Structure 1
Amino acid sequence: MKENSLLTEGDVNFAESRKNWYDIIDTRTKEWLDKDAEVFLHQSLSTPCLDVLASCEGIYLTDVSGKQYMDFHGNNVHQIGYRNAYVVDRLKQQMDILPFSPRRYTNIPSIAFAKKLTDLFPGNLKRVLFTPGGTSAIGIALKLARVITGKYKVVSLADSFHGASIDAIAAGGEEQFKRYMGPAVNETANIPQPTTYRNDGDEIEYANALETNLQSDSSIGAFIAETIRNTDVQIPSKAYWQRIRAICTQYNVLLILDEIPIAFGRTGKMFAFEHYGIEPDIVCLGKGLGAGIIPFAAIVCRDEYNIAKDVALGHYTHEKSPLGSVAALAMLEYIEQENIIAKVQSDEIFMRQHLLALKERYSIIGDVRGIGLLWGIELVTDRTTKTKAVKEAEIVMYNCLENGLSFKVSQGNVLQLCPPLIITRLQLQAAINIIENAIQKVCAPAA
């Protein structure tokens, strides 16, 4: 297959900056990376690998050469940090008692966690189903929506991502996951993605695009979207989401919210939809649910949707995982005991102040947007045209990696910052300093 020379970091890692990275890593690391490339099937977004990790703790990753990275990426699993002692202790205790529970049986940890989780939700959102991963949670939600509504079509947002399985990519809108895949499992229409820097009038127009689709096609049973778009940090207005909720209610269409990467305090609320005064019909959860240790995910839905008793919605081997349930329950307890959500709300003020100050100093920063401890710094070559500074974003990212800060670049030019919620102010400031020093490599400060 011919490589596309225009592909950038974050696509298939063929960027020039990635090639240059291998010139600065040590020989032992290169040897391990070569062995990795020999045995694993290569795929977009993760091949070739960046480095070889040996350990992790708190906000840090440590590679085999002893280098530490502050992890502002973490695949969104690290809300309460790596190897959280409170969670690890609970898991060790459970390992000695009941590490696995076959289907046909339940277990006390899964019941206890299900009760704890549903108690956090409003209204009648009181039914759960667990899965080993977020993509599977999306699949269950889509299957349940068909059972509930008798309809099989879905509306989602353009360029959206809801998982990498066939059914999940069909429901999403991100083209790189659909390449070579042929006919979709779900028949899906895409409406425009709401963006932070549009005014409410534009966003309401985008919300009304959902109604236009529903008016023209009575086979649509569900609308699925991230409440806040994680990758490049797009934060819709309250008016947008309240209009979407009203449209779904009017047309008897299920509102499925994908909070797999952003729940559990990331946005300064336990769940992102709490910012909008709406109540979804189904919520998909995952990633941080397993506390960065156990693969674990879930859906939460209304009690009246408990109508699929003759359908195997999930039927996964690790469905009621005692270990996953213990990890998730410990994660929630830790967030509550350490008052993490209040901390994140305070950290948001700190981040906004310091990142907006960076924007004032450097013309390459076209936009800064964020909520809680989820932030995006959008780099542009021209603020008026919003031309993406793709090459510059890669230079910044690799300079930060050299200096011990890991994050991802989204949409080619957005530095996405997603640190563990346990991070200290001194660590946040250190990370901002690293970013500023890297930005100075591509843009001089204003006089």
Structure 2
Amino acid sequence: MLLLKTCHSCLTLLKPLIIVCRKGNNQVDVKPFLRTEGDINLSNERREWQENHLSQQTLDVLEEDSRYFLHQSMSTPCLNVITDAEGIYLEDMDGRKIIDFHGNSVHQVGHKNRYVIDAMKNQLDELPFLPRRYTSPIAVKLAKKLVDLAPGDLNRVLFTPGGTSAVGLAMKLARKATGKFKTISTWDSFHGAGLDAISVGGEGVFRNQIGPLLPGAEHMMPYNSYRGLFSGSEDSGMKSLEYLAYMLEMENDIGAIIMEPIRSTDVQIPPKAYFQRIRQLCDQYGVLLILDEIPGAFGRTGKMFVHEHYDIVPDIVVIGKGFGGGVFPMAGIIAREGLNVAQDISLGHYTHEKSSVGCAAALATIEFIENHNLLAHAEQMGVFMEQRLKEMMDRHEIVGDVRVKGMLAGVELVTNRQTKEKAVEGAEKVMYRCLEKGLSFKVSNGNVITLVPPLIATQGEVEQALSILEEAIGDVFTN
């Protein structure tokens, strides 16, 4: 068995998600494993799936990977070995083609997009690396394009190699512009894996046992935490903003509020009034509004930027993931004109801050989205997915809720619709049954099947994926 071959691996021993870490024959630690951001990479379900469906060649590669990479929740030890990816498909070492409705939210224009790759190849021949202190036409062209696309006076940009560093840029700029160091964000949020990002983030799987985090990072209840706590009233999700207003009234050193406009992992979608009220509070108390759109920008929700659904203009938008076309790591911020106040410090100064190849990839990604009308397509597919998933909900009691915005969908599995008790073990079984049938997606928060199709997926391909999902739900919960 894969995990038993590696004595330095963690072995799952108990079903209630208790992980026992071993080194040789000596037990080191026993601790509960949190199900938050994704499925568990050391569960019995995973081990059984690997034993039953992977070749010895693949298992050998996985064992070697486990030998050399540091182990961490959700990623190493790994699930499978991928050798190719194109369009909406992954291909593993054993030759399986798998519909990728996960993609780490980077594959808006599909895997191995030729338009993006050709743009990068041309840039490699022209200027493969741009040293700091200099600019290039491709960097300026990309910056201008972003400013043209963004609403209001979002007129200034800065690029970074990754989303976590982009969140750090936004936080530093907020401190510099306001002179205040405190932030408010929500519990259960995710803003990256860096120490500053996990400080404002709210997921225990990133924060627990790390020690002191960034001072001044305060948290409030997220929108979805209030559902069902106030007699099920339609506006119960707005209750958290009463607490936010109280925090802003009591403390005069809050510099910024940092939020995801749509929680991408388990697809929590606040109403328009929620963020309009937050914008109002920020204006009232002189606080900057930073919206983390790293997983959602560039068409995922049917708009180029997620905040366009809320008819507001944030002070800073953080972008990443799909920005690089699923090929090159690119991220950054778009800030309002009045925040161009950091001339005397270095906000980023990263080695690859204005990567010429990355800029070519990002510009080609935006052009591809525009040239192929993928925003309109994502909006249409959102209508189709919502209808199809609600029909699935009508047929299967285990489906407690569906939430859809564009080509982003969350399917919540519950053992009881009234109590909303999570169907955690069932959700994991559904995921592995779908992998058997050729569909990959993410399980979030223990029981939410998160579907993130490439924007290039046709209605027929989306229907194929949803049919696989419904068949797997039927298999798991009727047998």
TM-score (norm 1): 0.97
CA 33–150 in structure 1, closer or farther in 2 if over 3 Å, else same: same
| Preserved contact between residue 77 and residue 288 of structure 1 (Cα < 8 Å) | yes
Q: How many residues align?
A: 445
Q: Deviations over 1:169-218 (max 9, x none)?
A: 11111122112221112422211111296755223221222111111111
The whole-number CA distance in structure 2 between the counterparts of 1:432 and 1:359 is 12
Aligned with 1:133 (options 139, 159, 162): 162
Whether 2:101 is the aligned partner of 1:72: answer yes
Whether 2:360 is the aligned partner of 1:326: answer yes
Q: In structure 2, what residue type is equivalent to 1:39?
A: Y
Which runs of 5 or more residues in structure 1 are unaligned?
Answer: none
Q: Deviations over 1:142-176 (max 9, x none)?
A: 00000011000110011111011111111111122
Alignment map for 1:190-205 (pairs within 5 Å): 190-195=219-224, 201-205=235-239
Whether 2:52 is the aligned partner of 1:20: answer no
Q: Deviations over 1:96-115 (max 9, x none)?
A: 11011000111111000000
Which runs of 5 or more residues in structure 2 are unaligned?
Answer: 1-27
Alignment map for 1:378-393 (pairs within 5 Å): 378-393=412-427
| Preserved contact between residue 200 and residue 239 of structure 1 (Cα < 8 Å) | no
Aligned with 1:401 (options 435, 457, 468): 435
Q: Which residue of 2 aligns with 1:48?
A: 77
| Preserved contact between residue 39 and residue 443 of structure 2 (Cα < 8 Å) | no
CA 190–200 in structure 1, closer or farther in 2 if over 3 Å, else same: farther
Q: In structure 1, what residue type is equivalent to 2:207?
A: K
User: 1:14, CA displacement in angstroms?
Assistant: 2.0
Whether 2:302 is the aligned partner of 1:268: answer yes
User: 1:332, CA displacement in angstroms?
Assistant: 0.6
TM-score (norm 2): 0.91
Q: Which residue of 1 aligns with 2:340?
A: 306
| Preserved contact between residue 434 and residue 468 of structure 2 (Cα < 8 Å) | yes
Q: Deviations over 1:413-442 (max 9, x none)?
A: 000000100001111111011101110123
The whole-number CA distance in structure 2 between the counterparts of 1:186 and 1:57 is 44
Aligned with 2:373 (options 339, 354, 358): 339
Aligned with 2:327 (options 293, 299, 304): 293
The whole-number CA distance in structure 2 between the counterparts of 1:339 and 1:297 is 23
SS of the counterpart of 2:476? coil
Whether 2:247 is the aligned partner of 1:208: answer no
Aligned with 2:257 (options 223, 227, 248): 223
Q: Which residue of 1 aligns with 2:9?
A: none
The whole-number CA distance in structure 1 between the counterparts of 2:376 and 2:348 is 35
The whole-number CA distance in structure 1 between the counterparts of 2:39 and 2:433 is 19
CA 111–199 in structure 1, closer or farther in 2 if over 3 Å, else same: farther
| Preserved contact between residue 8 and residue 412 of structure 1 (Cα < 8 Å) | yes
| Preserved contact between residue 407 and residue 418 of structure 1 (Cα < 8 Å) | yes
User: 1:13, CA displacement in angstroms?
Assistant: 1.7
Q: In structure 2, what residue type is equivalent to 1:76?
A: S
Q: Deviations over 1:271-302 (max 9, x none)?
A: 11001111100000000000000000010001
- Moved beyond 3 Å, runs of 4+: 3-9, 196-200
Aligned with 2:122 (options 65, 90, 93): 93
Q: Which residue of 1 aligns with 2:7?
A: none
CA 100–200 in structure 1, closer or farther in 2 if over 3 Å, else same: farther
Q: In structure 1, what residue type is equivalent to 2:393?
A: K
Whether 2:187 is the aligned partner of 1:165: answer no
Q: Which residue of 1 aligns with 2:24?
A: none
Aligned-CA RMSD value: 1.5
CA 350–410 in structure 1, closer or farther in 2 if over 3 Å, else same: same
Q: Which residue of 1 aligns with 2:29?
A: 2
Q: Which residue of 1 aligns with 2:312?
A: 278
